Amino acid sequence: MSYRVVVISSASKISLHRKNFLYSPLEGESISVPIEDISVIVLETHQVSITNALFSKIAELNIVLFSCDEKHTPNGIFLPFHQHSRYSLMAHLQIGWTKPFKKNIWQKIIVQKIQNQAYCLKYIKNKNYKKIYNLSLHVKSGDSTNVESSSAKLYFEYLFAPFNRRDEEDWRNKALNYGYSLIRGAIARSLVSYGLIPSFGIHHKNQLNAFSLADDIIEPFRAFIDVVVYEMYEECLEDICKRKQRFIKEDKNRLYELFSVKANIDNHETTLLNCCDIVASSLANAIKSKEYEDILLPSLEVNE
């Protein structure tokens, strides 16, 4: 199984050479890595050229490739084209989703999201986790009473108090958003690899959003990012304050480790990156069987 995360942060050329990933910086020696060991590539700099042979191999191996904006934040992802053998069939099944099917899947997603929020609080030894968990027991079909919103408000108060999720200058928000964007991209890649159209969402329906389905599926994953950001903040609080909330390269490097964070899914432990594939595969199966309960979701549950 691939495990390496490659971050390109300086002017260079990247290519495929004898089945290896070759990094050739403008200054310094070239580095070669077995391409089958790579799971994620992040292009942080705009001063990088990439060969078509490498692009093709990335698609073939289903490697996650991110582009970044001027602030070095992921803003795009390279998706393989029609990789699934029954792409047309899956597209027609996805278009034919019934309202009850979507409402039931959304209910299951939100229940798992809220429970993972509770497990996050439990993990950091916050006694309020039971209050959040109890909210998950009241989620109705389609989350018609919007328990998700009530839970999120309380959850972030317990996790980071005092905290304003809309404060863009807060280091915690910068870290959360960066982490969410990484996992969102990995989910989008997995959805496409199983023949799903990421723009057709279950709950999110913005016609200008090409990744509505990824925004649905990411919800139970968010608490995993929250745990990592919480630990980073607690460990580096003094340093973060000294640098006046600046989000730096070392912070990003820590968040790249999210892909290898362990999660429980279908009574098995695996990485968060592999969870993206398992969830996408199970969603495809649920669409075929028309049984919403067939979808598998990651759990952050901590044993006593």
> How many helices, marked H, and strands, marked E, lie in the chain?
10, 10
Q: Determine phi and psi for 19, rounding to 5 degrees.
A: 65, 15
Task: Compute the distance between CA of residue 298 and CA of residue 224 in angstroms, rounded to an integer.
Answer: 9
pLDDT for position 93:
86
Angle between helix 222-242 and 171-193 (nearest 10)? 150
Judge contact between 72 and 10, C-beta under 8 A: no
Q: Virtual CA dihedral for 60, 63, 64, 69, nearest 10 degrees? A: -80
pLDDT for position 82:
58
Q: Tell me: the pLDDT tens digits for 108-140?
A: 999 999 999 999 999 999 999 999 999 999 999
| Location of structure tokens 């904006």 | 69
pLDDT for position 208:
59
pLDDT for position 86:
63
The tokens for 60 are: 């073939």
pLDDT for position 83:
58
DSSP code at position 273: H
Q: What is the sign of the dihedral through the CA atoms of 142, 112, 181 and 53?
A: negative
Judge contact between 190 and 280, C-beta under 8 A: yes
Judge contact between 37 and 286, C-beta under 8 A: no
* Series of mean pLDDT values for 10-residue runs along the chain (304 residues): 86 95 94 94 95 94 90 84 66 88 96 98 95 97 94 95 90 96 92 87 77 94 98 94 92 94 94 95 93 96 65
Q: Please report the domains of the chain, with CATH numbers, ordered by start residue.
A: 4-78 (3.100.10.20), 87-294 (1.20.120.920)
Task: Compute the distance between CA of residue 231 and CA of residue 225 in angstroms, rounded to an integer.
Answer: 10
Judge contact between 251 and 175, C-beta under 8 A: yes
Q: Other C-beta atoms within 10 Å of 22: how many?
A: 18
Cβ-proximal residues to 97 (8 Å cutoff; 6+ apart), any chain: 200, 202, 287
Q: What is the pTM of this model?
A: 0.90
Give the pairing of strands 20-25 and 12-17: antiparallel
| Location of structure tokens 């027991």 | 137
pLDDT for position 131:
96
pLDDT for position 89:
78
Task: Compute the distance between CA of residue 241 and CA of residue 245 in angstroms, rounded to an integer.
Answer: 6
